[in-house]
Structure 1
């Protein structure tokens, strides 16, 4: 039967054409031949896809969409009959792995096959992966999926397998987030993996999600990876992603509920890493009441997280470590106090590390990392538990949370390097000699076990590490305050200077009316080169080098305005371009506010490009770097070139640049450079102002500082004559 015609929204037309929504609206008003709506409503019309493509092709807009955007569009437009025939999005995940094992030439040849032959080859390729990808057996693609398969092969060929995985799993990941399961950011996962002493060979994640934690364990040297997840799409994505990123490891991933139906009942792991679902009251409390895993007490119905903790401990070899990412309520809820006391009393709980809000979804919650160790029979008595608060102190772990116009929070500049250093420094010192650990008031403390075994058993790091008056010397605090205040005054002066040099005048009536071109168009014309770090053997891999002796410029470096801080070892053999002075660096993930781009200077030159950064290398005879950076990072430009929903990925080729004479570009470039300086000075002044205020407030309330007021009034306060 003939398939119904696919329909697209105005937003999808803008992504296909590589323009903004406003441009599509203008086309509808100004061009009588613009396709008429074929469905939808007056407020949300739908348009026939093929008619739109023909109209765009006549105006040179048919090739603006990136391969990942083409894949995203074809997925959205799959007909209901194709999906009901077994062509669900999750079934395509296995095909990504099969495609990644083929050369670019082979993928091109596949896209040129007739539909029937293409479907047959795809069915065969997925069947061959039945032993390694859960759910791959029995997959059959309907004839209507030929268009999607071609888009998938082209995305893998041009942008890499991980990009294709991200597109396929977007909708399913949003559904899982709504149910309390969240994706763990890579820096967070790396910190969790590094909290496991030595190098564990066999690592389990019983709620593996997309496999981020297991991938971090593989980077630490794990040779056997085991994962399980309730959602089939998560298990499939995890298996495919791990097989792509850690091909030398043994990967075993299963689908199912680990608490109710453990897929690895006899597995004894060296380490367990896990970011379990939060707040799940339907975890099996009644049916699992007599489960032998509850060696530290039966978890209450509201304490699913403590069930996951004990599940992890049950899978460990004696002396093995578990690292769990948990919500802060787990440390203090009354219903969990008995289990917490037993975890402390037995010595199973070794450390609790608090992170700032915004470290990972849910962004409004400051998550915690619990480090546990299964007690060894006859082992050494553990007399204390380490508590670390990475959100305290002078700037370490500082987080700038920006707000979108809709009011939603979005992560800003999170100092993962500072968080990681603070947590690991304290943990390594504690594990080396717990009895001689030196407390850092307000940051890290080793609390005796006996002090934690009260009726509350509160394990909240912020409360346990809180500095008392006796911990802080008034003279030292006053010296720190003077230093911070002097720095703030200098920064305020620099900010004033930067503001004075940012003058502009009103443009004329025709201001801002430029002809523009996409970055892809400029690249094809030789005006600039687009480079990126490639994790696989794509055609762009020849642009990069790998070197363990170099730093890596990360997305966080751009957001914070720092020099390169990343470790080249974390690139794991990826082909990374070497940054040159004058390159324009743009974040690959859209942010609500703050810097999205900068021009590489001397401190950036020679560093390797991080995986979350796009590099634009302009021809200096045709493009000015600062002018290019200013227009590329414009809010409307970034929005128009971003794809996705939960995470907005910037498609570099779709960013638009005005076509201006070089002399005019240089004038704009100087203005954009001053804007960059103004933003950097404002950021520095803001950090120093917050630090100064923190020291003042803490000193005044803690009694280390006294306000300079009337001497008699202060004497009266000392005599008890103050107003009541």
Structure 2
């Protein structure tokens, strides 16, 4: 292991590790690497730290991550070998898992083989797993991770090494909010659901949370199929899970299966999907897909597996809606009534992040069923950008702030998932309840007649069809909306100027920055200055937390059935808690109290990393990707704590990982200052928070005002002032 990994395990800085190497002759000698980048034996370092009373500051997941890396370097087995073991150990009690970690190496390997064999029948294409005594370190770390953080946490660590999203494999996980949206687009309560390109199983997991009890999945990558099976069995233990490994188009594993719903995020732009050998396949009821139209093959594959009247929701690239080679199949889908809706998502909603994807909602026609005269089109991309510009997400204290930007979206619009989901589901439900009476929303949603769509192009792009409906906006209504937004902008600009004029700080003396002694959050927790809380996965509740003061349950105010869940995205965008308590699925979540300091567990994306809980947050449940610091008000000021915990340098020093940076809360450092001085810093940090909120609010209102004005002028609802035109024509360059 590296010196950096030693610092993470011990909860100290790299400089402290270097100091140990110089000062202590018994510090373990390097076992590899180079003189400038030495490597150390993990067990030797742990023994040395234990001899000096240094408890490990690494989480069980971090321990497993480090052990896996070292095991791979020594030629050990692959993480895929451990998938069966995750499934088997998740069903064990904390006491059984603890007992297993204490077995001798050879006995532990034999015990793990028996555990893995007990789950072999549940996972597709699972070859017998063999473990050796040399695997004991990884096995102990995995058992401990499952015991303390749950099977899903262990599965996520395994995914980082062999199952991670990558351009090379083309396997990407559907974001959880998008998976939830697709699941909620299926009307009613489907019991039997299929995902023919299931990947990690996120779509099936989303529909399982909504009550589905028979889950069928298939994926071309065997390791993904096994991962999906394990994940679904952990997520929905009461459901029947069947996952197969094969190419769904060429080798359908469920040829006779009909289900209530199909959810799918298929691979895009695949030219070698089987066009030649499948030319006479009975699934092509709407026309043989062209060689460049693999997406339309997936659409028809989904329809072929539906019961009459059943629904499918597929995530597709925008080219599917208008590419010339797919015109005939699109026309038949529209003519038959199989296509019910096309929903355009904002750029950055899912991989590929530079493309605005679309959701197609389909329904298998019923013999003798009602005639479908229209198709719903929703431009959620335009709606999201306008809603974000308007700062439609109301932050704490009534401050409106824009939504968080999706990580990696680059130049994409910000994705306000709660707002976008509510708007999309609202128009979809209104359309399904009464398609003929649906009036749509100008600029957002429009129901196009089937006859109007069946032209020479059959272009089903939502933006083109929805944009045409904007002329329906009432001019007086738009004018009033512009005036109201403009007045709000003026008020926000004045408030921003007042906040920016605050001068509650000065330069440090002597021309150098101030220095101070610091302590880690773990040290402060051990001293009783704060309590560090987290949401404990189901199955880990029986183990008492220690050392850092971490915990949950009655000791932290655990309250099953409490209000909404505060998520990391809520912290980033400053919104009220928006998470669904049902997503905790039995996890033990602390209840947030006013004055708690909340820190995002993933250091990515824009927006603040920390937040001081207000009265409006009190009673919300803590999300799984949020750390809660509960300071003793007699020893720590909450705003002072939040300001220093969220500092960029502090977050960077306490984060691990490569593509995803995970914050280790115990390693965050806080200056040791008297309470009165803390309060002065805290007041300064509160002003910084207010400045950020006011700036976002003013920016959002400025964008919304400009959008409304431009749309009204180009749509004919607003007319330019004659007086302004006359003045400009006279050569007056004064501003107006």
Give TM-score scaled by structure 2 length.
Answer: 0.89
Quote the RMSD (CA, aligned, Å): 2.9
Aligned to 2:58: 65
166-175 vs 669-678, which deviates more?
A: 166-175
Pick aligned residue for 2:82 from 92, 101, 104: 92
Distance apart, 1:108 and its partner CA: 1.3
Aligned to 1:610: 623
Q: Does 1:542 align with 2:553?
A: yes
Aligned to 2:304: 314
Aligned to 1:662: 675
Q: Does 1:76 align with 2:69?
A: yes
Contact 2:146–2:153, Cα closer than 8 Å, also in 1: yes
2:20 and 2:329 map into 1 onto residues whose CA distance is: 64
Aligned to 1:722: none
Q: Does 1:530 align with 2:532?
A: yes
Q: Does 1:582 align with 2:573?
A: no
The 3 A distance-change label for structure 1 pair 230 and 60 is farther
Q: Does 1:102 align with 2:104?
A: no
Q: After superposition, what is the alpha-carbon deviation per residue over 1:186-233, rounded to whole angstroms, capped at 9, x for unaligned?
A: 211111111111101101111111111111111111111111112222
2:297 and 2:560 map into 1 onto residues whose CA distance is: 44
The 3 A distance-change label for structure 1 pair 481 and 33 is farther
Contact 1:204–1:271, Cα closer than 8 Å, also in 2: yes
Contact 1:403–1:410, Cα closer than 8 Å, also in 2: no
Distance apart, 1:363 and its partner CA: 2.2
- Residues 450-529 of structure 1 mapped to structure 2, 5 A cutoff: 450-468=451-469, 470-501=471-502, 503-508=504-509, 511-529=513-531
Contact 2:560–2:588, Cα closer than 8 Å, also in 1: no
1:413 and 1:662 map into 2 onto residues whose CA distance is: 39
Contact 2:125–2:222, Cα closer than 8 Å, also in 1: yes
Distance apart, 1:576 and its partner CA: 1.8
Distance apart, 1:116 and its partner CA: 0.5
The 3 A distance-change label for structure 1 pair 151 and 375 is same
300-309 vs 139-148, which deviates more?
A: 300-309
1:459 and 1:161 map into 2 onto residues whose CA distance is: 43
Aligned to 1:200: 190
Pick aligned residue for 2:336 from 346, 359, 380: 346
283-292 vs 394-403, which deviates more?
A: 394-403
542-551 vs 39-48, which deviates more?
A: 39-48
The 3 A distance-change label for structure 1 pair 28 and 290 is farther
Q: Does 1:571 align with 2:573?
A: no
Which secondary structure state, in structure 1, belongs to the residue aligned with residue 381 of structure 2?
coil
Q: After superposition, what is the alpha-carbon deviation per residue over 1:323-357, rounded to whole angstroms, capped at 9, x for unaligned?
A: 11112222122222222112111111100111112
Distance apart, 1:657 and its partner CA: 2.0
Contact 1:327–1:367, Cα closer than 8 Å, also in 2: yes
Q: Does 1:396 align with 2:387?
A: yes
Pick aligned residue for 2:289 from 294, 299, 310: 299
Pick aligned residue for 1:556 from 565, 569, 578: 569
Pick aligned residue for 1:685 from 698, 703, 720: 698
374-383 vs 425-434, which deviates more?
A: 374-383
- Where structure 2 has 5 or more consecutive residues not aligned to the other structure, the ranges are 390-401, 544-550, 731-736
Which secondary structure state, in structure 2, belongs to the residue aligned with residue 435 of structure 1?
coil
548-557 vs 344-353, which deviates more?
A: 548-557
650-659 vs 212-221, which deviates more?
A: 650-659
1:49 and 1:403 map into 2 onto residues whose CA distance is: 37
Q: After superposition, what is the alpha-carbon deviation per residue over 1:85-130, rounded to whole angstroms, capped at 9, x for unaligned?
A: xx21011122112222112222111111000100001000010111
Aligned to 1:439: 440
540-549 vs 630-639, which deviates more?
A: 540-549
1:59 and 1:515 map into 2 onto residues whose CA distance is: 22
The 3 A distance-change label for structure 1 pair 240 and 508 is farther
Distance apart, 1:56 and its partner CA: 6.0
Q: After superposition, what is the alpha-carbon deviation per residue over 1:543-563, rounded to whole angstroms, capped at 9, x for unaligned?
A: 464544622222222222122
Contact 1:82–1:144, Cα closer than 8 Å, also in 2: no
1:630 and 1:411 map into 2 onto residues whose CA distance is: 29
Give TM-score scaled by structure 1 length.
Answer: 0.90
Which secondary structure state, in structure 2, belongs to the residue aligned with residue 291 of structure 1?
coil
Distance apart, 1:686 and its partner CA: 1.3
- Where structure 1 has 5 or more consecutive residues not aligned to the other structure, the ranges are 1-7, 718-724
Aligned to 2:368: 378
374-383 vs 544-553, which deviates more?
A: 544-553
The 3 A distance-change label for structure 1 pair 231 and 691 is same
1:79 and 1:469 map into 2 onto residues whose CA distance is: 58
Distance apart, 1:700 and its partner CA: 2.5
Contact 2:404–2:416, Cα closer than 8 Å, also in 1: no
326-335 vs 538-547, which deviates more?
A: 538-547
112-121 vs 322-331, which deviates more?
A: 322-331
